[in-house]
Every structure is written in C-alpha cells, then in structure tokens.
Amino acid sequence: MARATGSPRSPNASRCSDRTIVNQQHLANRATPLDHEQVHIQRGPRSGLPVIVAVHSTTLGQAIGGCRLTTYSRWTDALSDALRLSAAMTDKCAVAGLPNGGGKTVVAIPPGHTLDPAARRAVLLDVADTIAVLDGIYATGPDVGTGPQDMAVIDERTQYVFCRPPEAGGSGDSSTHTATGVVAALHAVCESVFGSPQLAGRRFAILGLGRVGARLARHLAATRAELVVTDIDTSKRSVADELGATWLPPDEALASDVDVLVPAALGGVFTPDTVTRLRCAAIAGPANNQLDAPATAALLHRRGIVWAPDVVVSAGGIIHATAVELHHETSQQAAARVLRIGDTLARVLRDAARAGVTPAAAATNLARQRLQPSTDTTSREDCR
C-alpha cells in the first residue's frame, strides 16, 4: 500500500487535530450502540460545512470508503449515513476478501446551498486535512457527489486517497468496474433463480441512471434483455430513448412486473411498505444500503423475492481501485477479481438456501468468518 501506509503526516495534521475529534462518549446518547473505532466531526475551516469521517473497523487492515458530498436537511442525518455506510463497508471488504476495513466520509451540504468551483475546492481541502489527521488508518475514494478529479484535489493535502485520474497516477472512474461486478452478480442471480445465467430475454428494471446505472442499462440492452428504466432526473429519459427501453416514473418502475429489480441510486428504497408492492422475482443492484432496516430482508424472504446483498453486488469499484492503486496489481488481475463477485454471490445464495436463512444473513455470516481469521477455514486468496 505505497500510498496508504507508513508515510509522513501532513504538515497540517496537528493544526487540524486541535479542531475536532468527536469520541464515542459524545455519541453515547444515540439510540443504537456505537461500534465504530473512531468518528471525527469537523466544521471545515475553509468551507464552514460539517465534515464527518467514520472509521468502523481496521481489523483486516486500513479502513477504506468513499467521500460523499450531498445535501442533508440536518447534519445529524449525514452522521447517521456515515455510521451506517462505514459499517456496511466493513462487511463489503470482508465478503470481497479484501485486506481492508470500512470507513466513510460524508459532507453535509445544507438545502439550497450551491457549491461554486472555489467552494467545492474548499470543501475537498477540508476533507483532506481531516483524513490526514488519521495518519493512514483510513483512505477515501469517490462516492455520491464526488469523482476522480475531486480525489486529485484531496491528493494535494494527503496521500490517503484512491480513484484519482489516470493522468495523476490513479485508476480513474470506478463506475465501469462497479457495473462489471453488477453484471457478474446478475448472471449469478439469474442462474440461482431461473436456472440459467443468461440475461437475454429477461426483464430488468433499473432504478437510477447515474454513471453505474446508465452503464448497466447499455450492457443489458446489448444482451437483448428487456428494460424498464427510471430516474428522478427526467433528463435521463434520453437513455431510455437511446436504448428503446420503457421509461416509467420511479414509483411505477419500483413496482413494475420484471424478473430482476436493479436499484442503482441512493439507498433505503426497500421498506415494509414498498416490499408489499414489488412484483419481481429477485433484486440485485449497485445502490448501497438498499434496505431501510435489516429486518426488511426477512420481509423480502417471506415474499419469495431473492435479494442479493448490496455489500456483495456493489463491490466492483472498490475491488478494482484498491487492487490497482493500493496493492499494485495489473489491470487484468484486478478485472479478474471483480468478475469473482459472481462466484461470491453464488456462494452466498447457496449458503442461504442450505441454512434456510436470508441471503443477507448468509453474507453477514461470511463477513464475520473473514473478520475472525482464526476461525475461517478458507484462505483469503481462495475467497477472492
């Protein structure tokens, strides 16, 4: 991990550390127990915006997780997201067989607040200084609201960053590799549910046409699958027109009669209410934290809907980026690891069927095994 461990601290680290470190005692009154190793909250000195970095676990190695820059009505909602997403990242890394733990950076933008280029740069430099304080236990990459060029700005102040642009020595946009991993997962789901991995002729509904969702739509259209697509941004309807896909409003697309539902936007879409309206046989997509609560997995299970855990399905981008930038593997080696998402998901679905539990429970069991190496009888290399 040449860029991620054992390097000198940023010259600004001590100055930043005097500003803000929120320990577990500050969060003790939260409704759920805090099992994170560290949570740092800082009011950015340049931007004035809340910068939150949550480190959930370093049991397997350096914590990694994206930098989310998006609007929140309350900054405490951003804190909740950081805690939830960093914990999910620990499971994602463990299930993927990565020698890393989970973390997350979230910056809360107030409603109606617009970042011009100068303000955006100020936010990213605040993020960089907050990460530098952690002295290498956490590295960040792109997430909702950020991309490779933003990682280049963060790289100006701290080396603990990945998915920088190729011209800056990074692996670039991770959406291609995330989409590749989702396609591998869709093959595994179709084989498990329908008895064949073929995608041609299957009917898919893609909820969200961002970078990953649009790539998935184009790939599935090329395989001659039938497509329903949607996005809250109606300008994305041009993708439907380009591909000959059926465009529906988000609520209608969610409840459309399809073989596989592919959530590809923000999380929390599956709730006790929405589960009752689903008309799909399976769900597999790149959106993080798709369930509003863990108990919703059981509701899907009781309805006979196979839910492919998002910690498995969405791991392609992080697998590729860490393999290339942190572990210095070739692009071919990294691509092979991404394709193994299909094998991992197939294992999770088999384990769930054999044990009579939900796929979510089977994925959690696999993660716990890998977080306790002494009790894991499968080598990490075999898992990847």
Q: Could you write out the DSSP letters of every residue in 286-302?
A: S-SS-BSSTTHHHHHHH
Can you state the angle between helices 117-133 and 148-155, rounded to 10 degrees?
60
Q: Is 104 a catalytic residue?
A: yes
The model's pTM is 0.79
Burial 268-299 (b: 16+ CB within 10 A, else e): bbbeeebbeebebbbbbbbbbbbbbeeebbeb
Question: Quick one: pLDDT at residue 32?
Answer: 56
pLDDT tens figures, 309-359: 999 999 999 999 989 988 888 989 999 999 999 999 999 999 999 999 999
Binding residues for NAD(+): 208-213
Q: Which residues of the chain have pLDDT under 50?
A: 1-29, 374-384
Question: Quick one: pLDDT at residue 303?
Answer: 96
Pairing status of strand 101-109 against strand 50-55: antiparallel
- Mind listing the domains of the chain with CATH numbers? 13-89+101-168 (3.40.50.10860), 175-315+344-368 (3.40.50.720)
User: Tokens representing 343?
Assistant: 């094998």
User: Tokens representing 368?
Assistant: 């716990």
Residues 6 or more apart whose Cβ sits within 8 Å of residue 262? 182, 186, 204, 205, 206, 207, 213, 216, 283, 284, 285, 286
Residue among 330, 305, 318 at smallest CA distance from 97:
318
Write down the catalytic residue from 36, 56, 104, 320: 104
Question: Quick one: pLDDT at residue 33?
Answer: 67
Mean pLDDT of all residues in the chain? 89
Residue in the structure block whose two tokens are 């950015």 = 44
Binding residues: 208-213
Question: Quick one: pLDDT at residue 373?
Answer: 59
Question: Quick one: pLDDT at residue 254?
Answer: 97
pLDDT tens figures, 126-162: 999 999 999 999 999 988 899 999 999 999 999 999 9
